[in-house]
Amino acid sequence: MSAAAPKPAPYGNDFLREVEERVEGGDWVRMCMQCGVCAGSCPLGPHWEHSPQKIFMMIRAGKRDEVLRSDSMWMCTSCYNCIVRCPRKLPITTIIHGLATYAHRQGLAPRVQPTRDFSLQFWGNSTRTGRVNEMKLTIGLYFRDGLVAGVKKGWSMRNAALGLLRAKRLNPLELLRGHECEDKAGIQRILAKAYELEDARRGKPVA
């Protein structure tokens, strides 16, 4: 007889409780009945490892690291198919965004994750002046992977960019100054307070 099989990890619902307390929409997770309609409704279904259905079961099984390090939440296009089809009416899109956000705040989200980068860039871009600066957003995305990659990407998309310029739907002058809100200071004060309250509720972001 060989040594005894390793003892199975004790079943615990600490992670479920953590999700319920700290993740936006997390208190809905235990309502999932594992029917899989969400998995079959996702337009990016072929591209992710864990469907929402699986993620919800992994949460209940306490797989904290696997869930929060998963790439899958970042594949959400916000199409809301899963929400309208869920027979238990779980706000799945909200939960998936909430889990992605929580993973990011915990410092566990994949290091290289283009949708996470875009999310952070978009939020930074839009809150700097209260309105999106599309020109800076586009340029920022092109040069995300450095100068050479940016020039290459810009070159490959040059006709699209020129077409938008010709159609007056992209304004290079926005690099100097784009559309802005007047009460930028008020917006920053709103944000500071909101972040403070968010940290109190969910814990300070790691790193």
Partner 1 sequence: MTKEYAFYPGCSSQLKASASNYLASVDSMCRTLDIKLTPIPDWNCCGASISYAGSGEIARHALNARNFALAEKHLPGQDIVATCAACWLNARETQERLAEDHVLMRDTRAALKEAGLDYGGETPVKHMVEVLIEDFGYDALAAPVVKPIEGLRFAGYVGCQTNRPFGIAGESFENPLYLDRLVETVGAEPVAEYDQKVACCGGALAFSEPEKSQMQIRAIVESAYDHGADMIVTPCPLCQANVEIYQEEINRRQGTKFAMPVVYYSQLMTIAYGGDAKDAGLDGQMIRAPRLEEIAAAPASPRRGI
**Between 31 and 79, CB nearer to partner 1:** 79
Q: How far is the CB of 148 from partner 1 (least distance, A)?
A: 18
Residues in contact with 136: Cβ distance below 8 Å, sequence separation at least 6, in sequence order: 125, 174, 175, 178
Tokens linked to 155: 């070159």
- Part of the chain binding partner 1 (CB under 8 A), chosen from 30-38, 52-60, 61-69, 89-97: 89-97
Question: Is residue 195 near partner 1 by the rule CB under 8 A?
Answer: yes
Contact with partner 1 (CB under 8 A) among 60, 63, 108, 122? 122
Rounded Cα–Cα distance for residues 184 and 196 (Å): 18
Does 123 contact partner 1 by CB under 8 A? yes
Quick one: 189 exposed, middle or buried, by C-beta within 10 A (0-12, 13-18, 19+)?
A: exposed
Query: Closest distance between partner 1 and the C-beta of residue 178, in Å?
Result: 9
- Pick 62 or 98: Cβ nearer partner 1: 98
Q: How many angstroms separate the CA atoms of 99 and 81, rounded?
A: 18
The contacts of residue 177 (CB under 8 Å, 6+ apart) are: none
Considering the rule CB under 8 A, would residue 149 count as an interface residue with partner 1? no
CA distances from residue 10 to 13, 94, 144 in whole angstroms, order as listed: 10, 30, 43
Distant-in-sequence, close-in-space partners of 67: CB < 8 Å, separation ≥ 6: 15, 50, 55, 58, 59, 99, 103
Does position 40 bind partner 1 by CB under 8 A? no
For residues 67 and 183, what is the distance between their CA atoms, to the nearest angstrom? Answer: 40
- Confirm or reject binding of residue 163 to partner 1 (CB under 8 A): yes
Among the residue ranges 8-16, 28-36, 50-58, 187-195, the one whose residues contact partner 1 (CB under 8 A) = 187-195
Binds partner 1 by CB under 8 A, chosen from 126, 149, 151, 155: 126
What is the binding site for partner 1 (CB under 8 A)? 24, 43-44, 47, 75, 77-81, 83-85, 91, 93, 97-98, 100-101, 104-105, 109, 114-120, 122-124, 126-127, 130-132, 134, 141, 156-157, 159-160, 163-164, 166-171, 174, 179, 181-183, 186-187, 189-195, 197-198, 201-202
